[in-house]
Amino acid sequence: MVCFVQPPKRRRTSGEEIVTNRFLSCAGYGAALLAFTLAAAPAAHAQGKWRAGAPIPQGANEVIGAQVDGQILVYGGQDPGSNAMGIFWKFDPGKNEWSKLPANPVPVHHGASASVGRKFYVFGGFRLPDTGKVGWYPENKAWVFDLDTQTWSALPPMPTTRGALAAVAVGKKIYVSGGGGIPQGMQLPDGLVGGGPVELYGTLEVFDTDTNNWSKLAPMPTPRNHHSIAAVDGKLYAIGGRVGSCYSGGWSSNVWMNEAYDIATNTWTTRAPMPTARSGTGIAALDGKIYVLGGEGWIDDFGGVFRANEVYDPKSNTWSRAARMITPRHGFAVAQVGNAIYAVSGVNNAGGAGTLSVVPVNEIYEP
């Protein structure tokens, strides 16, 4: 394989300096043009600081995670062949140590996770089909891992089958939003399912962990996938993501969208848009503010990843920029413990899961 690198191209969009490094590669979607860094320019006197924790022993693309009783669980992963890896690790912030956990019976990538008590929940995602061509096939399965018994149990499936969705827990209920599916099973030249039209979902469904029942709620005004969702003071905030396809590149467009759902009234409102349109981000709520980290995006058909750390204040309906991540990436797990936000693994190029692009980092942000 012959690769070449073009000189970095600098652009400024809505106050953001974006650096795009381009090269030719045979990884990812096969002979695809990939790009590497879309870095938001640092704000003056950017708040907070980052430090490195113990790296995860097994890094991967498209991992998800949640804080469970003060510990961070990281699950999922997609390998270069679109296999769902099913990695499952626990990080103890006090000891700065990782330990491996039992594998899920049906692993997925591009799933969603949340925690209630000492239990870790996984919803939807994509996996390889049981038979037929290699591809991404959406799941409706739901699973729970009990940290005390170290066992997985199947739950009633989601009413809507989808991957690249988002989830957040409020009390003992878990809200699962958006995502995408592949109704036509389209095939790319390399045999992967992808590209073209897909079903986009604005679906919002809630799972009651006490009764194990699902209910449908008012849908998001903007159907999308690869978005993030967080909860503050009885409201859910669905931020960013993309429309057009679950797949990056020419088939999809990132959005700045920030839509708020009021749990009490079952209604949505539009809020101040995120400064930088991104998808595949990480998200965390801390002290009443929402931090949206990293992600991927495309400019002029060339893709890249972000170091961005943009902070939304629901009370003032305003955005600010905080200290950027050390490592630009997307498809990583995020969890909040105490006064810190942990960003674990992911990949440092857009739209791909090549082995060389996986970053097993564990970076910790403190405001």
Q: How far apart (Å, rounded) are the C-alpha atoms in residues 200 and 195? A: 13
Per-residue pLDDT of the chain (367 residues), as tens digits, is 222 223 334 344 444 433 343 332 323 322 222 333 344 444 445 799 999 999 999 999 999 999 999 999 999 999 887 789 999 999 999 999 999 999 999 999 999 999 999 999 999 999 877 665 556 788 999 999 999 999 999 999 999 999 999 999 999 999 999 999 865 445 444 444 444 456 789 999 999 999 999 999 999 999 999 999 999 999 999 999 998 776 655 567 899 999 999 999 999 999 999 999 999 999 999 999 999 999 998 765 567 899 999 999 999 999 999 999 999 999 999 999 999 999 999 999 887 655 568 999 999 999 9
Q: Sign of dihedral through CA atoms 305, 308, 311, 317?
A: negative
Tokens (6 digits) for 57:
């022993």
Three-class secondary structure assignment of 284-301: EEECCEEEEECCEEEECC
Q: How far apart (Å, rounded) are the C-alpha atoms in residues 126 and 144? A: 17
Among candidates 146, 144, 147, 145, which has minimal Cα distance to 155? 144
**Confidence (pLDDT) at 46:** 72
- Neighbouring CB atoms inside 10 A of 81's CB total 10
Residues listed for the chain: 367
Q: How far apart (Å, rounded) are the C-alpha atoms in residues 252 and 194? A: 11
- CB-based contact 140:157 (threshold 8 Å): yes
Write the DSSP string, 154-181: EEPPPSS--BS-EEEEETTEEEEE--EE
- Neighbouring CB atoms inside 10 A of 64's CB total 29
Burial class (CB in 10 A: 0-12, 13-18, 19+), 334: buried
34: β partners: 23
- CB-based contact 133:75 (threshold 8 Å): no
**Confidence (pLDDT) at 351:** 75
Among candidates 52, 154, 62, which has minimal Cα distance to 109? 62
9: β partners: 20
Residues 6+ apart with CB under 8 A from 45: none
Q: Which domains does the chain have, with CATH numbers?
A: 43-366 (2.120.10.80)
Q: How far apart (Å, rounded) are the C-alpha atoms in residues 153 and 144? A: 5
The pTM score is 0.87
Write the DSSP string, 211-259: TTEEEEEPPPSS--BS-EEEEETTEEEEE--EES-SS-STT-EE---EE
Angstrom distances, CA of residue 108 to CA of 63, 72, 140, 193, 204: 9, 19, 11, 15, 20
**Confidence (pLDDT) at 352:** 64
Residues 6+ apart with CB under 8 A from 27: 34, 80, 352, 354, 356, 357
Q: How far apart (Å, rounded) are the C-alpha atoms in residues 107 and 348? A: 23
Q: Are strands 173-177 and 166-170 parallel, antiparallel or unpaired?
A: antiparallel
- CB-based contact 194:188 (threshold 8 Å): yes
**Confidence (pLDDT) at 15:** 43
